[in-house]
Amino acid sequence: MKRKIADQFLANYLLMFIISIVIAICSFLLLDFANHVISNTLVKSNHTAESLMQDNYFDIDTNSVIDNGGGVQVINKNYEIVLTAGLNTFEKDKLNTAEFTEFLTASKSKGIPFSYSIEYNAKEQFWLIVSFPTSIRIDFAIVHNKEFASVDMQNVVGVIVAIVLFYLILLAISTVIYSKITSTGIVNPLRKLCHSAQRLRDGDYSARVELDLKNEFGELEDIFNAMAGQIEHEISLRKQSEEKRKQLVLDISHDLKNPLASIVGYAEHCLNNPDIPKADLEAYLQIICENSVRANKLITDLFELSKMESSEFVLSKTRIDTSEYLRTIIGKAIPTFDKAGLKYDFEIPEQEIFAMLDTDQMDRVFQNLVANTVQYNPEGTKVTIHLLEQDDGIVMIFKDDGIGIAAEIAKNIFQPFVRGDDSRNSQTGGTGLGLAIVEKTIVAHGGTISLKTDINRGCEYIIQIPKI
């Protein structure tokens, strides 16, 4: 990539090199043309000493010169200024031979502030000098005498050719150097980007590019790094999801294995021993029934969890007074609390607080929370349920002062098959899916659920949902 881009830059600058030469030639021709046009339009070109010359210098028309800001002087053979009109650049009325010679020489020099047109009248022996102030212009010309060959011709042509060649060589070297510098400023960032992109392609999702530039490459750096970060995050989530999937399969297998093994074992025992006493047979059937119910509950919970994780899952929400709804839920839970020997305290406001709820799904949330509280806490545990209205939503607090859950376990308690401790297994406890279903239900309502707990400090579930 570097070679191709560098070559392209070199080709582009070589093209500009050729264009620069063409422009220089055109500029020279244009300057020559402009010089010709200007020379023909200047006042001094229309009022020359030759055009004004008269044998009797008193007959010379000086008015046209004076009207255009110029001046006329006549100098006789004794270098005396015998006539002057308008602009006068001489500081005295009589010149000596050296002064007049110096004037004639300087009058043809470049850069003097006046232009002079000088003509000699051989018959009457006087010089006519017409002067005009110099306008702003650049005098440039190459003089070549076509009629007479000069001994300096070869040397002068050689110097001119050498200057032109030196200019072309210098321009060519500058073009190559500049093309390399500019191409490097583009190739180096591209090379770094390509290297990081190749690492990303090869599976190194930590690849990043560091350019420290403030131009478009700097913006591309930010976009590339953000993209690489997003890919790394997505890959990490995918790995986590795959690990969770594998763990979920293991947990399902483990949790189904025990009840199914009991069902199969006791069923085979009953079939192979037809003379089993009736009391023993009823006990075996009771075990088979209980394990069937446990396996069915696990499968049902898995179905519910899978359904809620589906993109097609949609809640059937209606506008509900959460105060009245929570009082109804509590009324259904009181007999369960009484049977388990739990104490309870409820704080539900009298005013109406409306929210959009799927009551069937929210019923399942509170049923799971009630079931967990009753199943894992001793008699005398106090349960407190609060409903609070805040500016940004509704807060439901379901709290107990029971045995609590270890903090290191509680941080993952809403993951499938996570239970409070080793004693809470599929045989003595629930399926380990209840709280996962609870969290997904709350999230589907646009809310959040969190748990504050620790060993022997009870559990406090805080549910926040939007209000309307």
Domain boundaries, the chain: 2-133, 216-307, 314-465
3-state secondary structure of 135: coil
Element (H, E) at 190: helix 153-201
Question: Residue 423 above 60 pLDDT?
Answer: no
Note the maximum CA span of the chain. Answer: 168
Residue 270 and residue 262 in contact, taking contact as beta carbons nearer than 8 Å: no
> What CATH architecture does domain 216-307 belong to?
Orthogonal Bundle (1.10)
Question: Residue 126 above 90 pLDDT?
Answer: yes
Beta bridge partners of 453: 459
Average pLDDT, the chain: 85
Give the residue-averaged pLDDT of 441-463.
Answer: 94
- For residues 294 and 114, what is the distance between their CA atoms, to the nearest angstrom? 118
Residue 366 and residue 337 in contact, taking contact as beta carbons nearer than 8 Å: no
DSSP-derived letter for residue 80 is B
Residue 380 and residue 454 in contact, taking contact as beta carbons nearer than 8 Å: no
- For residues 264 and 95, what is the distance between their CA atoms, to the nearest angstrom? 143
Question: Residue 421 above 70 pLDDT?
Answer: no
1 falls in which pLDDT band (50, 70, 90)?
very low
Which pLDDT belongs to residue 130? 95
Which pairing describes strands 343-347 and 382-390: parallel, antiparallel, or unpaired? parallel
Cβ partners under 8 Å of residue 110, min gap 6 = 139
For 163-180, give one letter per residue: b (16+ CB within 10 A) or e: eeeeeeeeeeeebeeebe
Percent of the chain with pLDDT over 70: 91
Considering only residues 75 and 420, tell me which one the structure prediction assigns the higher pLDDT: 75
> What CATH architecture does domain 314-465 belong to?
2-Layer Sandwich (3.30)
In one-letter notation, the amino acid at residue 189 is P
22 falls in which pLDDT band (50, 70, 90)?
confident
139 falls in which pLDDT band (50, 70, 90)?
low
